[in-house]
Structure 1
Amino acid sequence: MTAVQATARITAVPDGRGGTALPELTGEGPLALRRTRSAVGRAARVTVVGAMTAPLGGDRLAVHVGVEPGAVLYVDAAAATVSLPGRTGEQARYDVRLTVGEDAELHWLPEPLIAAEGSDLRMTTTAQLAPGARLVLREEQILGRAGERPGRLTTRLTVRVGGRPLLDQELSFGPGAAGWAGPAVLHTHRAVGQLLLVDPAFDDKPAEVRLPAWEAEEGEAVLTPLAGPGALLTAVAPDGLRLRRLLSATLAP
C-alpha cells in the first residue's frame, strides 16, 4: 500500500460584518474539512472529518491554519485520530502549523490521538502568535486501544509569541521510549493531555500553580504558569474519558 501525503489548509479572516470568513478551506486524502455552525459570537467553526484510515506507517499528513488579525476560529474534529502500523514499519508524520495574528483568536480542539499497538507516529504542533493573540489548544494522547499494548508515539509542542519562545516540550511514549511507564512519568496511567491557554491578560495577572479538583481514581492534573502570557494544564488519567474530565475545568486569567 502506498503511503499517503496530504495537507489541509484553513485561513480565517474578518468578514467586515462582525464575523469571520474562510477564504481558504481545503483538504486532501484523509483530511476533509467542513464548515460547521458556531454559536460563539463572531467565530467561524471548522470540523476535521477523517475521510479514510490514517495515519498509517509512512504517511505524511499536515494541517496549516492561519487566523488573520481580528478573526476568531474554532477547529475541532468529528472523531479521534488512530495511529496504525503500516506494512513497512516506517514511522508516520503528522505536522500541525498554527499562525494567529494580532487581536485574533484560535481554539484548536481536536479529539484524542490514539496510538494503536504496532504503530509509530511523530506528531509536531508549532504555533506562531502575534502579540495580543489568543490561543486555546488541547492535546490528548491515548496509549493503545482497549485491551492492547500501546504503539510508539512522540509529540512535540512549540509555541512562540511575538517571536519569543513560550513553550517547547517533547513527549515520547511506548516501545523504545525510556522510562515512560515509570512512576515519574505515567506509571499505571495510559492517557495524557495538555490544555494550553495563551492570553495577553496573563501579562497583568499570571496564573497561579494549583491542583484542579480530582479524585484519586480519576488521575492527576496541575495548572502551571508560563514565563509569558500563558498557562498550561497537564493531566494524566487511566483512560480518555477521565482525562477529558480533568481537562474540562473552566480556566480564565
Structure 2
Amino acid sequence: MIRITEQESKYNDIDKMSVLEILKDINEEDKLVPQAVEKVIPQIEKLATAVADRMAKGGRLFYIGAGTSGRLGVVDASECPPTFGVPFDWVVGIIAGGDIAIRKAVENAEDDVAQAWVDLQEYSINEKDCLIGLAASGTTPYVIGGLNTARKNGILTGCIVCNEGGPIAAESDYPVEVVVGPEFLTGSTRMKSGTAQKLVLNMLSTTVMIKLGRVRGNKMVDMQLTNDKLVDRGTQMVMHELNIDYDKAADLLLRYGSVRKAVEAGQNL
C-alpha cells in the first residue's frame, strides 16, 4: 500500500529556515487537520454509535497502539474517569511494550503480531467489549494482530488511522481513516497524524459518554472532585442548577460527592 504518512514533505531545506518560517509552515499544515477530520465524520458517527450501544449493554472500550498512537490512547482512556466519573476499567488504553513505553520507546514492541492479544487477556476482554486500534500508518503488526484475534472472538473492532486501505482498516468493523497528507517533517506522524488521532479520540469518547448519560445539559456532572479548581467548578454548577448561593452549593457538593448527586439532593429538599 502507498502510505501517505511516509511521503516526502512538501517543504525543502527546513533546516535552513528561520524560526518564524518553521512555525508558520507547521501552522499551515496543522490547519489541514480539522478539515480532514470533518470529511470522515460519517465514519466517526458509525463507530461512536456502535461503541455507545455496546457500552450501554455493559461492554468496555479498549484502545491498542504503539508509539505516539498508543500514548494517545492511554491519555484518552486515563482522562475518562476524572472527566465523567466512570470506573477505571470502562475505558482502557494499552500501549505496545507496556507502561514503560509511555515514556521510553521499547525496541521492536510494535512488530509483535501476537502480543496485543496477550496484553488484552489481562483484562479478560470478551464479546461484550469494543477494541479500537490506533496507528497512523495503518500497518502496525501489534495492532493488526490484536484486531484480527478480537474479531474472531466476536469483539467489535474499529480503528483510527491516517492512511486509506491498510490492513488495520481491513480488520476493523468500523474504520476511521483520516488522511492528513505528508508531514511537515517527513514521516513524523506525531505531528499532523497525531493531532488528527487526538481530535477523533476527543470526539469519540466525549460522544460516547454523553450518550451513556454522563453529561447533563453541557456540564460534566459526574467529574471527580480531585482539586480545588474542580470543587469550585462543581460548586458553580450546583449554584446554577439550583439557584442557590455559593456556600450552600459547596456544602451540598462536598456532602454528596458529585454535582449530579448534589443537584438531585437539592431538588428534593
Q: Would the TM-score normalized by the shorter structure come out above 0.5?
A: no
Q: Which structure has greater strand proportion?
A: 1
TM-score in terms of structure 1 length: 0.27
TM-score in terms of structure 2 length: 0.26
Q: Which has the larger radius of gyration?
A: 2
Structure with more contact order per residue of length (Cα contacts < 8 Å, sep ≥ 6):
2
